[in-house]
Structure 1
Amino acid sequence: MVSKTTVTVLSVIALCLAFADALPRLPHLRRCRCITQAEQLQSSMRISNIKIFFKQGLCSNIEIIVNLQDNKRICLNPDSEVGRKMISFMKKKMNN
């Protein structure tokens, strides 16, 4: 006869495995994309595009991601002079 403790432990393990398997199927939670941030861009950088992500989901930071033509990605500090200019430009562009 199987004890109640064994059944409980096996049930908990089964539930943990089921939830661990389901995690990749959950909606994508927005975490911060940028860990380190540059203060400025160099004039020699060949910019492909710029994306600005405002505060959302689990990330309470404004993030500016600059994609370069050589497939590198740079996170720009939104509090830097260049970052503030980009944010104000994008806000003006969105309001038009």
Structure 2
Amino acid sequence: MKIQTAFLLMAVAVVCLAVHGLCLTNTKISRCRCVKVSSQFIHPIRFKHIDIFPQGPYCRKVEIVITLKNEMKVCVNPKTLWVKRVINILTERNR
């Protein structure tokens, strides 16, 4: 194989890796988890688990995912008043 062909193949590989975000990262966390968020009130009695994901390099917003007792996952708007109150209550309980 000629040296020019080898360099061309290496250049194509580098460009492909750069375009696809280096393809070496975990694809599960390479974007925001919540495409759509809900502001509708969900009573805490229906909660099974709450996950809070801070902003980071892959998603520039705080995401809150509530897992309900029926295993359904709901992304909620962290700026709504009821979500802020629930987070404050949970934070106070953990102290």
- Asked whether the equivalents of residues 78 and 87 of structure 1 are also in contact (C-alpha less than 8 Å), the reply is no
Using the aligned pairs only, state the percent identity. 23
Gaps of 5+ in 1: none
CA drift at 1:18: 7.9
CA deviation map 1:34-91 (0-9, x unaligned): 1111102344x83221122222332221211111122211001111121111222233
What TM-score do the two structures reach when normalised by structure 1?
0.64
* Structure 2 alignment gaps of length 5 or more: none
Distance of aligned partners of 1:86 and 1:62 in 2 relative to their CA distance in 1, 3 Å threshold: farther
Partner of 2:51: 51
Number of equivalences: 91
Task: Determine which structure has more spread, i.e. the larger CA radius of gyration.
Answer: 1
The residue type paired with residue 87 of structure 1 is: I
Superposed, which structure 2 residues align to 1:2-41 within 5 Å?
A: 2=2, 4-13=3-12, 23-24=23-24, 26=25, 29=29, 31-41=31-41
CA 64–14 in structure 1, closer or farther in 2 if over 3 Å, else same: closer
Shift of 1:5: 3.3
Alignment partner of 1:91 is 2:54: no
- CA RMSD in angstroms, aligned pairs only: 3.3
Higher relative contact order (CA 8 A, sep 6+): 1
